[in-house]
Amino acid sequence: MSSARAIVHVDMDAFYAAVEVLDHPQWRGLPLVVGELGPRSVVSTASYEARRYGVRSAMPTLTAKKICPQALFVPVRMNRYRELSADVFAVFGEVTPEIEGLSLDEAFLDVTRSLRLFGGDIENIGRFLKQEIFNRTGLVASVGMAHNKLLAKLASELSKPDGFLHIRSEQVHAMLDPLPVGRLWTVGKVAEANLHRLGIRTVGELRFAEPRRLRQACGNQAEHWQRLARGLDDRAVDTDAAEKSVSAETTFVTDLVTLEQALAWLVRLGERVGERLRAHELRGRTVSIKLRKPPFETHTRQLSLPQPTDSTTELLEAARTLLKRWWAAEPAPRLRLLGVGMSQFAPEVQTGLFAATASQDKLADQINRRFGQGSLVRGVVLKSRCGASEDG
């Protein structure tokens, strides 16, 4: 079945950094790092100019500054990235309804049933996607095409930046065999090291490895990895891969040491989550909070609501309860990171008692969209003035 599919993988090139350059043309050509300088801040995205110095996503920004002193560091603007992501996904929707979004800037598209509209050629679809995304956003996408997800993603990765590559059935082994075995999906660092100990360093060597010896060394994953090495992947594009949760979290430059501070930040994060729920027409049943004590001791707490909701008020009531319980149980509570989330989504519609609250929330959303994020907030949010690196 997989050989009959036509799969496209689209990945925007250095998306956050590219958006910043789009909005600030004077930064073009500079080593740009999206992420504020601070002892606990990390790189969200780096431009290709910065990557040449070794700057990578998730690297501490202070490390990035050491290896690339001339880099320009700019704050994350998540609302702007979401805005342009919506434009990109709108282009996807003009080609096929079978879209599996992996992030704001990456998706799989099953275009099998769209081929006839584009002359039966998947490359026509790839060209259309690249050109339309550029025409509407000014941003560059890398496009990989193949008959399954594994190969389509590899195609976009291998051809970046500004990539365009179609891996045909007859090209599979020639493309895969020379690659490091770690390039295969699900082969992580530990698995790669285990394979290296067997003398297996390339995908081709994995493909030809003796199955019994491989199974003895690697267990149940051995057969799966050899299938991937042959370019076989039966995963379908999952159009139901909608957000499993909506969350926001913040890492603090200075630890929070009072409950008052923590509650103020909790409200700030909860308002952001509530607005996202309503923007995506999602109602969740489970509220969770994430708490990290210094240095890296992480706790999570969650509470299930009697019915799904997108109400910020209900979300915050549950989140406050969880935070207060945790705070009271800790002998010396300090917070390095705080997060709020909602999950277990369901389609039920709010009625009756909560209708007025929902209406107020939506009015606040409209005001913030019109006049800028944070134009209207709960008063307690004004107490969250300590420095932080907001992670979205």
Q: Give Dmax (Cα) for the chain.
A: 68
Please name every residue paired with 389 in a beta bridge, in sequence order, or none if there are none: 251
Q: State the DSSP code for 60.
A: B
Tokens at 211, concatenated: 């199955």
For Cα atoms 182, 183, 185, give the angle at the middle one, nearest 5 degrees: 95
Helix (H) or strand (E) holding 14, with range, is none
Please name every residue paired with 180 in a beta bridge, in sequence order, or none if there are none: 202
Respond yes or no: is residue 106 known to be catalytic: yes
Amino acid residing at 154:
L
Residues in the chain: 392
Phi-psi region of 58 (alpha: psi -120 to 50; beta: other; left: phi over 0): left
Q: Which residues neighbour 30 within 8 Å (Cβ) at sequence distance 6 or greater?
A: 47, 49, 71, 72
Between CA 213 and CA 284 the distance in angstroms is 47
Q: State the DSSP code for 68.
A: -
Between CA 134 and CA 262 the distance in angstroms is 42
Amino acid residing at 3:
S
Q: Helices marked H in the chain — which ranges?
A: 15-23, 48-51, 61-67, 78-95, 122-137, 149-159, 172-176, 189-197, 203-207, 211-218, 221-229, 259-279, 312-329, 355-371
Q: Report strand pairing: 72-74 vs 32-34.
A: parallel
Q: Among the options 36, 98, 100, 106, which is catalytic?
A: 106
DSSP 326-356: HHHH-SS--EEEEEEEEEEEE-PPP-GGGHH
Between CA 95 and CA 305 the distance in angstroms is 39
Computed on alpha carbons and rounded to an integer, the radius of gyration of the chain in Å comes to: 23
Q: State the DSSP code for 170.
A: G
Q: In terms of Cα–Cα distance, which of 64, 63, 312 is closest to 17?
A: 64
Amino acid residing at 195:
L
Query: Which residues are the active-site residues?
Result: 106
